[in-house]
Amino acid sequence: MAVGVIGLGGMPMSIEGRPDEQRSVRTIHAALDAGVTLIDTADAYHLRAGEVGHNETLIARAVASYGGDTSDVLIATKGGHLRPGDGSWTIDGRPEYIKAACDASLKHLGVDAIGLYQHHRPDPTVPYADSVGAVRDLLDAGKIRLAGISNANPEQIRQAWEILGGRLASVQNQLSPAFRSSEPELALCTELGVAFLPYSPLGGIGRAGDLGGRFAEFARVAEAHGVSPQRVCLAWLLAKGPTVVPIPGASRPETIRDSAAAADLTLTDDEVARLDAAPR
């Protein structure tokens, strides 16, 4: 399924510091207005222990209330991460848990099949093949339409590719001006033709706003184009490969509008080289 080149990350709308629901809905509607067709979420994007799936249900309600056509919108969710409610993050990669989490996500999203379901993070206590095997079973059962993995290294990507019989649709790893260690995974995804979804592409919650202050070369290129450093950052990521779809998080309409506009910003080869060489 083809999606727009910029996605929307839903996490900021449901964890610490989240806005009221009306602003979140306006943000999601603004993303759809701007042509965003990939929205990323996870069952673990919530704050308190009793609200697992908060972000999934929020996104489902917002998409359902949108006045335009949403038939091409792909909602991607993830399972295998948990938030006990004390601010911590834990992991459960057991096949039985992943399958149960998928069933719960189906209910949160109100769908018969999830557009894209991704194994959230490898569990060191569970063989990776077992966790990915559960995702394969969900795909074979028709509970999910596309299968992906997140926070994976090249060996795990190749293993998932084999277990899924070449049906690996996406890899969601962190990649930004400050965090570039996922470039080998990006290169492998380009080789395999697998979508690479950089999360926290602007540096993550609380740091995205100062991207230009922390990375002077991005600010200089932005000034030359008359746009924000954040927009330049996303255009830089898009220049890294044909399968790259950044998923910047947002909780305000104006930020996702600016992010979506990166699809129309073309950087020169020299600018890309300068940004590649910029200090981290």
Residues marked as catalytic: 45
Q: What is the DSSP letter of 244?
A: B
CA torsion through residues 213, 217, 223, 227, sign = negative
Tokens of 253: 């309409």
| CA–CA gap between residue 45 and residue 61 (Å, rounded) | 16
Phi first, then psi, for residue 205 (nearest 5°) are -60, 130
Output the CA–CA distances (angstroms, integers) from residue 128 to 91, 100, 144, 175, 277, in the order listed: 13, 17, 19, 22, 35
Q: How far, in Å, CA of 234 to CA of 198, rounded?
A: 10
Q: How many residues does the chain have?
A: 280
Q: The sheet that has 114-119: what strands, in order across it? A: 8-9, 38-40, 74-79, 114-119, 144-150, 168-172, 195-196
In 3-state terms, what secondary structure has residue 63? helix
Say how far residue 146 (Cα) sits from the centre of its chain: 14
**DSSP letters along 176-191, please?**
SSS--TTHHHHHHHHH
- Spell 140-170 as b/e; 16+ CB within 10 A means b: eeebbebbbbbbbbeebbebbbebbeeebbb
Token pair of 242 as six digits: 């044909």
